[in-house]
C-alpha cells in the first residue's frame, strides 16, 4: 500500500501485531477501569517514530531489536496490548498485541519534517489509513 502527496511517496512495508514476550498471568487478565478512567474523554494517542538513516546499521537487526524490546515492555504494561470491553468497563488483557507498522518514504527526514511543519496534513501520510 502506498500514499502520495507532493512528490512524496509513503509505502507501507509491513503491518503486524507485537505481543508481550511473556503471557499475562490469569489473575491480571481482566483489568477493571477506575471511575476516573470511565468518565474520562476517549483519547487515542497515535505514535509515529522517525529514524534517520545511517550507513553503518543493519536494518533487519535493528528492526528485530526494536520488536523484541517492544514485546518485553508490553509484559510490564500488559493493558496496552489488551482490548477494551465496553459492557464491563474493563480491558481484556489476553496478550492480543499492539499494531506495528513499518513504512518507507522516498524523501529525506529533514526535508519531510520541514514540509510537515508547514503542512500538518502531510504527516498524516505516515499514519495507516485503516485505523
Tens of pLDDT, residue by residue over 37-47, are 888 877 766 66
CB atoms near residue 112 (< 10 Å): 19
- Asked if residue 6 has pLDDT above 70, the reply is no
Structure confidence at residue 67 as a pLDDT band (50, 70, 90): very high
CA 62 to CA 64: how far, in whole Å?
A: 5
CA 8 to CA 70: how far, in whole Å?
A: 29
SS3 of residue 80 by DSSP: helix
Tens of pLDDT, residue by residue over 95-106, are 999 998 888 878
What pLDDT was estimated at residue 16?
94
What pLDDT was estimated at residue 131?
47
**Among candidate residues 66, 69, 67, 91, the one with its CA nearest the CA of residue 81:** 91
Amino acid at each position: 500500500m502506498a500514499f502520495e502527496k507532493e512528490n512524496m511517496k509513503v509505502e507501507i512495508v509491513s503491518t503486524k501485531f507485537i505481543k508481550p514476550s511473556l503471557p499475562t498471568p490469569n489473575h491480571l487478565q481482566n483489568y477493571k477501569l477506575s471511575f476516573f478512567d470511565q468518565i474520562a474523554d476517549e483519547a487515542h494517542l497515535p505514535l509515529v517514530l522517525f529514524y534517520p538513516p545511517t550507513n553503518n546499521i543493519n536494518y533487519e537487526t535493528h528492526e528485530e531489536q526494536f520488536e523484541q524490546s517492544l514485546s518485553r515492555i508490553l509484559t510490564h504494561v500488559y493493558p496496552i496490548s489488551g482490548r477494551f470491553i465496553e459492557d464491563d468497563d474493563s480491558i481484556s488483557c489476553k496478550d492480543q498485541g499492539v499494531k506495528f507498522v513499518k513504512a518507507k518514504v522516498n524523501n529525506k527526514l529533514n526535508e519531510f519534517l520541514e514540509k510537515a511543519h508547514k503542512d500538518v496534513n502531510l504527516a498524516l501520510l505516515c499514519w495507516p489509513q485503516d485505523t
